[in-house]
Amino acid sequence: MAGTFSLDISEQYTRLAHLSKKKDKIEIHSLGYDNTIPNFFTNLVEKSAQEQSKVISLLHNKLNIPSTSVHVVLPDDLSYSQLLLMPDLPEKELVKSIRLQADEFVPLPIGDVYVDLETIAKLPNGKLLIVFIAAQKKIVDHVHSTIEMANLEPATLENELSAVGRMVTEMFTFIKTPTLIINFGYGGTSLYVMNPPFPYFQITRTIRIGYDIILRDLKVNMNLGDAKAVEALRTIGLSANGSINVNAIIYPIINEFIAEIEKTILLTKEKYNVSISNIYLFNYDNHIGYLHETIQNKVSVPTQSLPLSSVLVPNTITQTFSNILSSFIPVIATHVR
Amino acid sequence: MKKRIDLFSQRISSKALIDYLRKIRTYSLYSFVGLLGVIVILSGIYVYFSLRLNNLSDKRNTYNRYIVLNTPFVQDLRRFAVKFSLLKSMLQDDARSYTYYKHLITIVSLAPTNGTITSFKIDSTQKTEFTIHFASYEDAIAFIEYSETAAFLDQFLNISLNEFQISGDGDVIYELMYSGSFIKLP
């Protein structure tokens, strides 16, 4: 791991992490972020790759990261994920049969996507738990060429579900009760249900409500500029006591968001007859003030950011980023391979 | 090690193929340039040796013409060489018998009596045998006395009277047979 570093390119931020794993803890050597260039994932041309490569290169140099080999993580809303229960077949047959039914999970021609899968565990009932990940070829190729333009070596690419799922199951062993982990992303949100002793996420759902839609709603309705809207969301957010009433504007979307959370809790209850006892959020959760408190009040389940600091070796970097550490979870998770 | 998700993995395989093809292209280019270089060098060597061969061929023709022109002279030269070698061997084996015969005649003529040399043998080491006839016993004795003088003996390294014979039916002939070695004449 010391010979590599990790990179999270999302629509809003580009985040870099360089760390090493020490027993059950993670020691962060470097952590940094910058804005991703506008339309990096919608304008898949060489020019946008070049501009984004400059951002990555600058960040890499500023953080003085010695390694050039990079593990990359893509947002869930730019990829396709599916948890599968398959019979215990030989790997070749397994891959073959999953590829045959891949069109059920991916709303694109199968020739337009790169597909990969990982066998998570063999369950007590003899079936294999498999995570299936796919992403558009043109996005993967665009990311790949961007990294190469930054004079770095692309090592691996996965999505947030794959990276965070691995880290949570391997390092967050203190989660012993049914827990809902919410990846509040930029373009969408993923909801993962952990139900120990099940070895991985038991339910995963994706909804199209993310930070972006809330920010845009606020900008349009309050006629705010980018920076002001971001700042208003972060500092005032869902508080009733702000200088501007952000809550009144974004409340319908937040309500819808909370309704999705409740739906997931209900689904878990119906399917597995367990009640969610904790909700953990990460990614853009700290970009909306009082989001945790609002969710907690609405669904009556203790809600907080995913306690990343419990698996980190404390140092000046963790102190500096303590308020926004949960937004670095995907980039840290993809490094822990 | 457990296989992890890697969406680059499929892309990397196509990248590896592209890299492989690029390598083949590069190696082919280098091989072509190398081959071209080898061809140029071999052509240079071929031209050099062709010119050299032509040059040597011209020289060979010149020498052949020279040999043809000089064949009679060469034959004469060969004959001369054979003769010269024969002469050399003959001179090496020559006993110079005539010179020593004349020398013996001179020695005999200095004697107070007249004798006739009837046989004379000499080899290349000046080893000699000769026979002298005398008409009378006194002459033969006189010659024997003469042969004991320095005038006779100084002409030989060694000389001895081997036989003294008397022969003939009517006229008696006294025969002295000497053997020895002449002192080498210059």
Interval A94-98 mean pLDDT: 86
Residue A148 CB-density burial (10 A; 0-12 exposed, 13-18 middle, 19+ buried) = middle
pLDDT, tens digit, 9 for 90 and up, residues A282-311: 999 999 999 999 999 999 999 999 999 899
Pair (A314, A292) in one structural domain:
no
* B94-114 exposure pattern, b = at least 16 Cβ within 10 A, e = fewer: ebeeeebeebbeebbeebebe
B131 falls within a domain: yes
Task: Give the integer Cα–Cα distance in Å for B116 and B99.
Answer: 18
A214-228: average pLDDT: 91
* CB contact A293 to B (< 8 Å): no
Residue A137: its chain B contacts at CB < 8 A?
A: 11
Residue B41 has pLDDT above 90, yes or no: yes
Q: Looking at the structure, tell me whether residues B117 and B145 fall in a common domain.
A: yes
Q: Would the pLDDT of A33 be above 80?
A: yes
- Do A61 and A139 belong to one domain? yes
Do B177 and B101 share a structural domain?
Answer: yes
Vertex A276, ends A274 and A280: CA angle to 5°? 150
Q: Do B6 and A116 touch (CB under 8 A)?
A: yes
**Minimal-distance CA residue of chain A relative to B4:** A118
For residues A166 and A235, membership in a common domain is answered with no
Q: Are residues A197 and A235 in the same domain?
A: yes
- The confidence score (pLDDT) of residue A68 equals 93
Q: Which of B91, B119, B153 is the last residue of a domain?
A: B91
B11–A118 C-beta distance less than 8 A: no
Total domains in the fold of chain A: 2
Half-sphere exposure of A122 (CA within 13 A, CB side): 6
Chain A residues in contact with B9 (beta carbon < 8 A): 116, 156
Owning domain of residue A282: 175-306
Whether the predicted model's global pTM rises above the 0.80 cut? no
Residues A147 and A231 in one domain: no
A161, A36: one domain: yes
Shared-domain flag, residues B70 and B134: no
**pLDDT at A337 exceeding the cut of 90:** no
Do A262 and A190 belong together in one domain?
A: yes
Specify the higher pLDDT residue, A180 or B14.
A180
**Taking each helix axis from N to C terminus, what angle separates A137-149 and A46-62, rounded to the nearest 10 degrees?**
50
pLDDT of residue B13: 63
| Residues B114, B142 within the same domain | yes
Do residues A180 and A248 both lie within one domain? yes
Query: How much of chain B exceeds pLDDT 70, in percent?
Result: 97
pLDDT tens sequence across B50-68: 999 999 999 999 999 998 9
Residue B15 pLDDT > 70: no
Instruction: State yes or no: cis peptide before A66, omega within 30 of 0.
Output: no
Within-domain flag for B1: no
Residues B13 and B65 in one domain: yes
Nearest CA in chain A to B3: A118
pLDDT of residue B2: 65
- B16 and B37 together in one domain: yes
Contacts of A119 in chain B (CB under 8 A): 3
- 3-class SS of residue B102: helix
| Predicted pLDDT of residue A243 | 83
* Enclosing domain of residue B168: 97-182
For position B109, what pLDDT does the model report?
92
CA distances to A177, A262, A328 from A269, in Å: 13, 10, 30
**For helices A226-235 and A246-272, angle between their N-to-C axes, nearest 10 degrees:** 60
Say what the pLDDT of residue A159 is.
Answer: 95
**Does residue A2 carry a pLDDT above 60?**
no
Mean pLDDT rounded to a whole number for chain A: 93
Over residues A233-268, the pLDDT tens digits come to 999 999 888 888 898 999 999 999 999 999 999 999
Between positions 164 and 183 of A, the ones with CB within 8 A of B are 166
Does residue B122 share a domain with residue B87? no
- What is the length of chain B? 186
Give domain status of residue B69, yes or no: yes
Mean pLDDT within B33-57: 96
Do A51 and A144 belong together in one domain?
yes
Closest CA to A159 of A97, A91, A71: A71
Q: Choosing among A78, A94, A110, A144, which should be mutated to test the B contact, i.e. which has the most B CBs within 10 A? A: A144
What is the mean predicted confidence (pLDDT) over A262-276?
A: 95
CATH number reported for the structural domain that contains residue A69 in this entry: 3.30.420.40
Say if residue A201 is in the same domain as residue A332: no
pLDDT in tens, A112-168: 999 998 999 999 999 999 999 999 999 999 999 999 999 999 999 999 999 999 999
Q: Are residues A255 and A313 in the same domain?
A: no
A128 in B contact zone (CB under 8 Å): no
In this model, does residue B1 exceed pLDDT 60? Answer: no
Q: Is residue A321 part of a domain?
A: yes
The pLDDT > 90 percentage for chain B reads 65
Interface residue B11 vs chain A (CB under 8 A): yes
Those residues with Cβ within 8 angstroms of residue B157's Cβ, 6 or more apart along the chain or in another chain: B126, B180, B181, B182, B183
CB A168 within 8 A of CB A193: no
Round to the nearest angstrom and report the end-to-end CA distance of chain A. 8
> Which pLDDT score, from 0 to 100, does residue B122 have?
93
ipTM of the complex: 0.89
Task: Report in angstroms the alpha-carbon separations of B64 from A157, B75, B79.
Answer: 85, 16, 22
Share of chain A above pLDDT 90, in %: 83
- Give the CATH number of the domain where residue B171 resides: 3.30.1360.100
pLDDT at A267: 95
Q: ∠ at Cα A41 (A109, B6), nearest 5°?
A: 65
How many other CB atoms are found less than 10 A from the CB of residue A253? 16
The verdict on a CB contact (< 8 Å) between A116 and B7 is yes
Out of B91, B121, B139, a domain closes at B91
Domain end: B91, B113, B132, which one? B91
How large a percentage of chain A has pLDDT more than 70?
A: 99
**Cα A227 to Cα A218, A219, A223, A236, A325, distances in angstroms:** 12, 10, 12, 14, 21
